[in-house]
Structures are given as structure tokens and as C-alpha cells.
Amino acid sequence: GAVVSQHPSWVICKSGTSVKIECRSLDFQATTMFWYRQFPKQSLMLMATSNEGSKATYEQGVEKDKFLINHASLTLSTLTVTSAHPEDSSFYICSPYRGVNNEQFFGPGTRLTVL
């Protein structure tokens, strides 16, 4: 399978601060990056889709000004949670995708806790 890394693996921050999460695909180039959020005991919820060099497309109900996504290269994407609040506490997972008919892999996830 593909090698995907996320950094940090967990982060605790104060309410009102911003947090940046990095996702790297280490052994392939991802034309598309998906960002998911997962609350305890729930399924994965797609937040946004981004293509390298383009603006991200956000799912309904996801605030684009709060969750900033940058997909500057084919191996790196970042998700910045701006002015984080306790309700943003969740498990964030990236999923780089190579393209049509390819398998889809996930990063190890980042646990965000906002106090």
C-alpha cells in the first residue's frame, strides 16, 4: 500500500488558536487530496477535496474560511483549522488519491483537542 504521513499525530490547543496539519504522500504523487473528519464511534465524513494547484471544493456544511486547505504540490497538502473551538475537536484524516481507478489510501490521522 501507499505510504502516507500526517503531522502532528496529535495536538492540543487553546480555543481561538489556529492549527496546521500536514499530509504527505511519500511514495506517489497525489493528483487529488481528500480531507476527512471523524468523530468518536462514527464514520468518516468528507470535508473537502483539493486538486494540486487549485482551490479546494468543500462539502455542504463545512466552512471554507474555517478549514483552509492548501495543496501546493503533488506530495503535500495542509489543513489549517482557524480560530479553533472545542466543537472542532476531532480526528482529521487525509487521503491522497492518484487518479481514476486507483486504490485509495489514508493517512494515520491527527487527533485535535481544543480546550
Partner 1 sequence: QQQVKQSPQSLIVQKGGISIINCAYENTAFDYFPWYQQFPGKGPALLIAIRPDVSEKKEGRFTISFNKSAKQFSLHIMDSQPGDSATYFCAARTTDSWGKLQFGAGTQVVVTP
Q: Kindly list the residues in this chain that would bind partner 1 in the complex (CB under 8 A).
A: 1, 4, 6, 32, 34, 42-44, 46, 49, 91, 93, 97, 99-109, 111
Q: Which is nearer to partner 1, 16 or 108 (CB)?
A: 108
CB of 83 to partner 1, least distance (A): 26
Q: How far apart are the first and last CA of the chain?
A: 36
CB of 101 to partner 1, least distance (A): 7
Q: Which is nearer to partner 1, 57 or 83 (CB)?
A: 57
CB 94 within 8 A of CB 20: no
Q: Which is nearer to partner 1, 7 or 82 (CB)?
A: 7
CB of 17 to partner 1, least distance (A): 23
Instruction: State the SS3 of 68-106.
Output: EEEEEECCEEEEEECCCCHHHCEEEEEEEECCCCCCECC
CB 15 within 8 A of CB 115: yes
